[in-house]
Amino acid sequence: MTTSQPLVDALAAAGYRLTEPRRAVAELIAERSGHFTANDLITEAQERDLDIGRATIFRALDLFTELEMLERIDLPNGDHAYVPCLPGYHHHHVICQSCARVTEIEDLGFGEAIAEMERSTGWTVQRHRLEFYGLCPECQTRASVARWDERYAGREYLWDVQPNQFVERHLRGLEPGTAVDLAAGEGRNAVWLAQQGWSVTAVDFSQAGLDKASRLAADAGVADRVVTVTADVLSWTPAEPVDLVVIAYLQLPPEQVRTALGHAASWLRPGGRVLVVAHDRSNIEHGYGGPPMPDRCYDLGETVAALAGLEVETAEVVEREVEADDGTRTALDTLVIARRPAD
């Protein structure tokens, strides 16, 4: 809403007087972009020295909501947010239960569902509200960071300090250069690469994990070849192209995996490689360990497709022995190694 006129017209059509306080509130609303709260308007009015009080603003918001010029959204903290709307036009929202962020979502077929309900029941729907509650991407990341920081908080290493067997098997003997260990955790792969002569940047969102990676590097005498970076692996990027990217067990939803792999491929110098190893989707039924959700496991074909433009050197589902309480078990992993063609 870029002008207060629709609000003014709605008042007139409903037989309400256009008082100066109502006009002032209407103009404040018209100037807002997206969702706002009553406190947003109160703060704005105070900063402008407008002669309208809190009660007036709340009454005006209630009135414009009654006239269907505003839609009121219930926030998890008990507050309300408002969004301008046209009579008969319905907004649908997803609301973060942590930070109270509100995002408008598209119809996604709700209109068809309502029309079918009207046909099947004979009712006519005049108004409806549809709100979803969850965690926004930023709060999901913060929650994940907190969980992993807690897991890494102990003195002992959560994982083996030895490198992943496929990292060691396939990368041993390569000419060292610059490498990125994405989602490095406690740094076991980064430190092993540094021992082979690589200059490694270990990236993870858990500071607790990276603190242990730094300790492991110091104990191994390669602290000068391992740099740790606390960052979101989906948004971080190296300052210069690199010769190697290792992504080990970065178990994210498929869309985020595609983003991470696409970024990794774009970072490579000509001749550079990316090694990806992760729990394979077939591991859920036929293997051991790993996440039980299909959308947190990798598919070999999808992984190769996400590295389009690279020459695939290895692409297979591999077996990995795991020591469990009931003996040795077999886990199934996706393993892909791909190389950027040399100029």
CATH of the domain at 125: 1.10.10.10
Cα 189 from Cα 213, distance rounded (Å): 10
Answer whether residue 141 is part of any domain.
no
Q: Are residues 180 and 213 in the same domain?
A: yes
Q: Are residues 326 and 213 in the same domain?
A: yes
Q: Average pLDDT, whole number, for the chain?
A: 92
Answer whether residue 143 is part of any domain.
no
Answer whether residue 29 is part of any domain.
yes
Read off the pLDDT band of 72 (50, 70, 90).
Answer: confident
Tokens of 111: 């209109």
pLDDT tens track for 178-209? 999 999 999 999 999 999 999 999 999 999 99
Residue pair 201/225 in contact (Cβ under 8 Å)? The answer is no
Answer whether residue 238 is part of any domain.
yes
| Domain of 49, in residue numbers | 5-134
Q: Are residues 320 and 230 in the same domain?
A: yes
Residue pair 152/208 in contact (Cβ under 8 Å)? The answer is yes
Predicted confidence at residue 110, as pLDDT, reads: 79
Rg (CA), the chain: 28
Burial of 219 (0-12, 13-18, 19+ CB in 10 A): exposed
Cα 84 from Cα 27, distance rounded (Å): 12
Q: Are residues 222 and 114 in the same domain?
A: no
Whether the pLDDT of residue 86 is over 70: the answer is no
Tokens of 300: 């070999």
Q: Are residues 119 and 157 in the same domain?
A: no
Cα 68 from Cα 127, distance rounded (Å): 10
- Phi/psi at 297 (5° precision): -115, 160
Read off the pLDDT band of 1 (50, 70, 90).
Answer: low
Burial of 254 (0-12, 13-18, 19+ CB in 10 A): middle
Answer whether residue 276 is part of any domain.
yes
Predicted confidence at residue 291, as pLDDT, reads: 94
Predicted confidence at residue 327, as pLDDT, reads: 92
Q: Are residues 119 and 193 in the same domain?
A: no
Q: Are residues 219 and 104 in the same domain?
A: no
pLDDT tens track for 138-175? 888 899 999 999 999 988 998 889 999 999 999 999 99
Q: Are residues 36 and 65 in the same domain?
A: yes
pTM of the model as a whole: 0.73
Answer whether residue 283 is part of any domain.
yes
Predicted confidence at residue 129, as pLDDT, reads: 73
CATH of the domain at 190: 3.40.50.150
Residue of 24 and 32 predicted with greater confidence: 24
Total domains in the fold of the chain: 2
Tokens of 301: 């074909």
Q: Are residues 33 and 182 in the same domain?
A: no
Q: Are residues 174 and 311 in the same domain?
A: yes
**Structural domain ending residue among the three candidates 107, 134, 161:** 134
Answer whether residue 315 is part of any domain.
yes
Answer whether residue 157 is part of any domain.
yes
The helix (H) or strand (E) run that includes residue 301 is helix 300-306
pLDDT tens track for 282-313? 999 999 999 999 999 999 999 999 999 999 99
What does the chain come to in residues?
A: 343
Q: Are residues 181 and 308 in the same domain?
A: yes
Provide the pairing of β-strand 226-230 with 199-204: parallel
Cα 168 from Cα 84, distance rounded (Å): 58
Provide the pairing of β-strand 242-248 with 268-279: parallel
**33-37, 112-116, 286-290: segment of lowest average pLDDT:** 33-37
pLDDT tens track for 96-110? 888 888 887 876 777
Q: Are residues 45 and 181 in the same domain?
A: no
Predicted confidence at residue 71, as pLDDT, reads: 83
Does residue 197 come out as left (phi exceeding 0), alpha (psi in the -120 to 50 range) or beta? Answer: left
